[in-house]
Amino acid sequence: MAEEGRRRLVVKIGSATLTTSESSIDYDFLDELADQLARVREAGWDVVVVTSAAIACGLEALGIAKRPSDMPSLQAAASVGQSALSTAYAEAFGARGMLTSVVLLTRRDTADRTAYLHARDTLSRLLELSVVPIVNENDTVSVEQIRFGDNDTLAALVACLIDADLMVILSDIDGLYTANPLIDPEAKLIPRVDRVGRDILAAAGGAVSGVGSGGMITKIKAARVLMAAGIPMVICQGRTPNCIVDAAAGEAVGTLFTAPERPHEITPKKLWIALGDAVHGTIVVDDGARDALVERGKSLLSVGVAAVTGDFGYDDIVDVADSSGHVFGRGRAAAASDLLKLAVGKSREAVASNAILAVLADKPVIHRDELVLFE
């Protein structure tokens, strides 16, 4: 059994870090990873690994040199590769006395709150049993996860599920730069981020890995939610010697996204809203509504809605943006998009006197208990 008082660490490994230039699994790196995690566990950490590269491993096992473009071949490769990847982890970690397990998730598994809570309980129990869960997206059955998914979001979800004390993303880049260092020779590494604002999102916009499905922007969006949840995150070059050990010890490595305090109340329900479901649209609010939400902790009312984009229904998850388009929150909509669009620009009196819109007059569009703020 795991001892009480141990801290929890999530390590996310991207495809570009886990594979060679030929897109086959890098077994030497996996051995080094196992060594580091064995040392981290000895230092009092329980560890969950969120991994990519199932498709790459499958292509290697099948002897397919060039990545196919058709979905059945990609899913077949994921099916073969997941087995090969799990075996590789089991052997490398087992040689160091660590027992691993396989946990495959899709967005559907977390969109339902009951399934979300079951996943949380399973991961927590595995850690209590001193197991190292190896988590991956279930690429074999989920077309969306192969085409659009990224394991940065999955790792953030896992970190929130287990109430982690730290998340480390092993990338093929040293951290977050002021610009894309592959393009701009003047780009400089940002060692510490205390707030994810427009400048940080802009800096992340151009940095994209050559192998994985996610770029730097997906990592920053994951960090934004983790910071709101009070979980610090590190992005670092995954092949830097002892980077995980150093990050766990509080040493400077890569870019640290701090979480000195919880600026807003982040309940398990809100975390599920922030990460557990796909976003179906965006509600743009005026400056007065933004101030009421961020500064005064209010709910969002229809009179504060300036625009609505996307097609969403009652109870769907939506982004909340200011007039410049900057997303500063996420919540569960208490009204469908078609109804909200009719209410844009109308006063409370006009809404109340309209037979169709009257339902919006006395209830929030997003209640504060179902709204997560990123700043």
Query: What gap in Å lies between CA 88 and CA 3, rounded to an integer?
Result: 27
Q: Does residue 208 surpass a pLDDT of 50?
A: no
Q: What string of DSSP letters covers 96-145?
A: TT-EEEEEEE-HHHHHSHHHHHHHHHHHHHHHHTTEEEEEEE-TTT-HHH
Condensed to tens digits (0 to 9), the pLDDT of residues 86-103 reads 999 999 999 999 999 999
Confidence (pLDDT) at 75:
84
- Asked if 326 contacts 332 with a C-beta cutoff of 8 angstroms, the reply is no
Query: What Cα–Cα distance (Å) separates residue 149 from each residue in 137, 157, 198, 327?
Result: 8, 13, 23, 20
Condensed to tens digits (0 to 9), the pLDDT of residues 235-269 reads 999 999 999 999 999 999 999 999 866 555 566 67
Confidence (pLDDT) at 179:
84
pLDDT band at 206 (very low <50, low <70, confident <90, very high): very low
What is the pTM (predicted TM-score) of this model?
A: 0.83
Task: Identify which of 120, 221, 254, 234 has the alpha carbon closest to the alpha carbon of residue 167.
Answer: 234
What average pLDDT does the chain have?
86
Q: Does residue 212 surpass a pLDDT of 50?
A: no
The number of beta carbons lying within 10 Å of the beta carbon of residue 261 is 7
Confidence (pLDDT) at 55:
84
What is the mean pLDDT of the segment spanning 342-348?
93
pLDDT band at 196 (very low <50, low <70, confident <90, very high): confident
Confidence (pLDDT) at 320:
96
CATH topology of domain 7-257: Carbamate kinase (3.40.1160)
Q: Does residue 73 surpass a pLDDT of 80?
A: yes
The CATH code for residues 279-373 is 2.30.130.10
Condensed to tens digits (0 to 9), the pLDDT of residues 280-336 reads 999 999 999 999 999 999 999 999 999 999 999 999 999 999 999 888 999 999 999
Domain spans of the chain, in order of start: 7-257, 279-373
Query: What gap in Å lies between CA 39 and CA 192, rounded to an integer?
Result: 25
Q: Answer with the residue of higher pLDDT: 200 or 249.
A: 249
Q: What is the DSSP letter of 208?
A: B
Q: Answer with the residue of higher pLDDT: 232 or 55.
A: 232
Confidence (pLDDT) at 58:
87
Tell me whether residue 137 is exposed, middle or buried, using C-beta atoms within 10 angstroms of its C-beta: 0 to 12, 13 to 18, 19 or more: buried
Percent of residues, the chain, with pLDDT higher than 70: 88
Condensed to tens digits (0 to 9), the pLDDT of residues 154-170 reads 898 899 889 899 999 99
Confidence (pLDDT) at 285:
97
Q: Say which range, 129-143, 150-164, 231-245, 349-363, has the weakest mean pLDDT.
A: 129-143
Confidence (pLDDT) at 319:
94
- 204-208: Cβ within 8 A, 24+ apart: 204/176, 206/179, 206/180, 207/173, 207/176, 207/177, 207/180, 207/181, 207/182
What is the mean pLDDT of the segment spanning 174-191?
89
